[in-house]
Amino acid sequence: MPMPRKDEPEKYCQMCGVRLERKVYNGVLEDLGAFRRRKYCSLTCANTRKRPKHWETYHWRARHHRGATCEACGAKTSLHAHHIDGNPENNDPANIQTLCVHCHGFLHQTAKRRGWTFAGRMPGLTDGRMESRG
C-alpha cells in the first residue's frame, strides 16, 4: 500500500502569480523539499528580468557609473554612488554622483536633520588649491 500524500503548502509563482503544483518527473512526484524551495512556475518565469526585487541590485547597477574621485572632497577611496533624486531605480548617469563614504553620510544626515524628502546633489567642497594635494 502506498504512503499517503503529505499536505502541500499553497504557493504562488513570484513572477506571474500562478498557483504552484508539485510536478511529476518520469512518473515520480516532485520531492516535497524541492517543491517548498521552488519560487517560480517555469524556467521562463525564473529567467524573466522584469525588475530587480532587491535594493542592492539597483546600487550594484549604479556603481557602474561611479567616478574615480569624490565629487565633493576629491577623495579617491571608499567611493559610493549617490542617487541625486533619491530614487535607487533611476540609474541614469546624470542622476549618479560619486561621493566618498564620509561625504555621502554627511549629506544624508544633513538631509535627515533638515527634514528633506531626498538629499539632492552634494556641492563641491574643494577649490583649486586643495585638489593639488594628494
Per-residue model confidence (pLDDT) at position 129: 46
Give yes or no for residue 49 having a pLDDT over 70: no
For residue 116, what are the domain limits?
55-131
With a cut of 60, say whether residue 131 has pLDDT above it: no
What pTM did the predictor assign?
0.53
Measure the CA dihedral 24/28/33/37, to 10°. -30
Q: Interior CA angle at 99 toward 97 and 102, to 5°?
A: 150
Q: Could you report the per-residue pLDDT of 77-125, keeping only the tens digit for each?
A: 999 889 899 888 888 888 889 999 999 999 999 988 998 888 888 888 7
- CB-side exposure of 85: number of CA atoms within 13 Å? 10
> Is residue 1 in some structural domain?
no
pLDDT at residue number 52: 54
Q: Are residues 13 and 60 in the same domain?
A: no
Q: Domain check: are 88 and 23 in the same one?
A: no
Residue 111 lies in a domain: yes
Q: How many domains does the chain have?
A: 2
| Residue (of 100, 101, 95) closest to 118 by Cα position | 95
75 and 102 assigned to the same domain: yes
89: nearest Cα among 127, 52, 125: 52
